[in-house]
Amino acid sequence: MSYEPPSPPANLSTEIAEALNEATPEHLRHVGRYAEALAEHKEREARLEEEADDADVEERPDDLPDDVPAKATITIKEINDNRYYYWQWREGDSVTSKYKAPVNPDE
């Protein structure tokens, strides 16, 4: 009696399928445990991010524009001897700014 090897999922890249086909049974079991743990980690991260986004909505300041996240802070930039307030927040590796208003010289 001969057994056919399992077919890889259709959305699995050829490179990964080939690497798995060359692996030992022990290595495959390690990869399986790692893949399961990684999937759980990513799902947990997504849940935490979603919960944080929900919390941001509840704590949103009244003067915060719709296109500025609740985690934004206000910074002051000086341009041509004039001072301006900007909303500023991090998006991945970059910092994004959005104009808010001029700084009142009396402040």
Higher pLDDT, 2 or 67: 67
Instruction: Report the phi/psi class of residue 89: left, alpha or beta, with left for phi > 0 and alpha for psi in -120 to 50.
Output: beta
pLDDT tens sequence across 21-46 = 999 999 999 999 988 888 888 888 88
Q: Is 33 exposed, middle or buried (0-12, 13-18, 19+ CB in 10 A)?
A: exposed
Q: Where are the beta strands (DSSP E) in the chain?
A: 73-79, 82-91, 94-102
pLDDT tens sequence across 48-78 = 777 766 554 445 566 788 888 888 888 888 8
User: CB under 8 Å to 95, separation ≥6 — which residues?
Assistant: 88, 89
User: CB under 8 Å to 83, separation ≥6 — which residues?
Assistant: 76, 77, 102, 103
pTM: 0.46
CB 70 within 8 A of CB 64: yes
User: CB under 8 Å to 48, separation ≥6 — which residues?
Assistant: none
